[in-house]
Structure 1
Amino acid sequence: MKYRQTDRNKELLKGGVISIILISTPFLFYIYKYAPADQTSWDTFIGTLEAGAFSNVQNYMHALFTKITFVILTGLWFLTSNKWWRYAILVPFTMFLFQLSGVISYKVMYMDEYDFWDALPFILPIIFFLAFISHRLSRRKTSSTLDEEANEEIKKMFSDEI
């Protein structure tokens, strides 16, 4: 009985964290509006943000947080999906990661052009990491389900219920 309560608490916590992330994405998407539109450099408590190839800091923040939002949403979608086609989600995920790397790199002038071969060395470790996490989560869920079924069967065997 205690195991079920702990599992419910873990599921509730996991669902709460996912909900908070999903609820915060619109705020993350529009955070660029707080950046100055007339400066190429902005001093924040985190550090100094440079506009780089963008005309001002607000444009840079808009491009940056748009890509970060889509990376978070597609990554979360991949991790929480249990359908057979979930690996197809990695295609737009890699695209968004490559575009994010273009925004972060000041020397890259072709931010939204998608070149698969340039993105491959940057993206492969992240994809392997996501696939590993996804595999571990699905394996843990399967073993947890089997454990619950075995415990129920043992209880039925030793009880008077048949």
Structure 2
Amino acid sequence: MIPDKRSTIKKKLIIEGLFALIISLSVLFFYSYKYIPRGDELEEWSFLGLTFTKNGFNQIYLAVYFYLGKIVPLYLLVIWFITCKHWWYHAILIPIAMYAFQLFSSIYGTSLKVDENELLYLMGICMVVIPIVYFIRVKLFDKHVHGIDLDAIDAELKEYKERERLQKEQDLKSKKL
């Protein structure tokens, strides 16, 4: 085996292993809110340099529960988007945007207005993503299901136009003679 190919395979295995590890740890990340100290008197809590506050929730662990309920699906969807090889992978952007807006509003808003106005922001994203996905689908459907190859049709049209042009030139030459 070529040494360059070995290093490429090693890198690929390491990256795929990291993705598998992150995915398998998602359950642990999601339920880590259970290990946060509880109590109404606790106003802020620090962990690994991050400081968490109540941010409109009754207790800090509820705020962290809500954040993790948005972060874990968000990073799983991002991994799916990055690694997906299907033609429709752009559609994954819609739930990614939904969770991102919900996370943003839960961090920078109050707990009373979370998950209410994200629909308005998602409409703009949907108006861009859905036509792109549909256009890709139509192109693939025409080519693979109906057997319509648009490049072949364009080439054939150019050939017909060239024949017409040559025929007109011949007709003009024959009229002049």
2: CA distance between counterparts of 1:42 and 1:106? 19
RMSD between aligned residues: 2.3
2: CA distance between counterparts of 1:96 and 1:47? 21
Letter in 1 for 2:113: Y
Residue correspondences, number = 123
Deviates more, 1:104-113 or 1:17-26: 104-113
TM-score (norm 2): 0.62
Q: Give the aligned partner of residue 62 of structure 2.
A: 59
Shift of 1:26: 0.6
1: CA distance between counterparts of 2:5 and 2:50? 46
1: CA distance between counterparts of 2:112 and 2:122? 15
Asked if the contact 1:99–1:111 (Cα under 8 Å) also holds between the matched residues in 2, the reply is yes
Rg comparison, structure with higher value:
2
- SS of the residue 2:45 aligns to: strand
Shift of 1:42: 2.0
Q: Give the aligned partner of residue 131 of structure 1.
A: none
Structure 1's 46 and 119: CA in aligned 2 closer, same or farther, altered over 3 A?
Answer: farther
Shift of 1:24: 1.1
- SS of the residue 2:52 aligns to: strand
Using the aligned pairs only, state the percent identity.
Answer: 27
Runs ≥4 residues deviating over 3 A: 106-109, 116-121
Letter in 2 for 1:29: F
Q: Give the aligned partner of residue 9 of structure 1.
A: 10
- SS of the residue 1:59 aligns to: helix
1: CA distance between counterparts of 2:97 and 2:50? 28
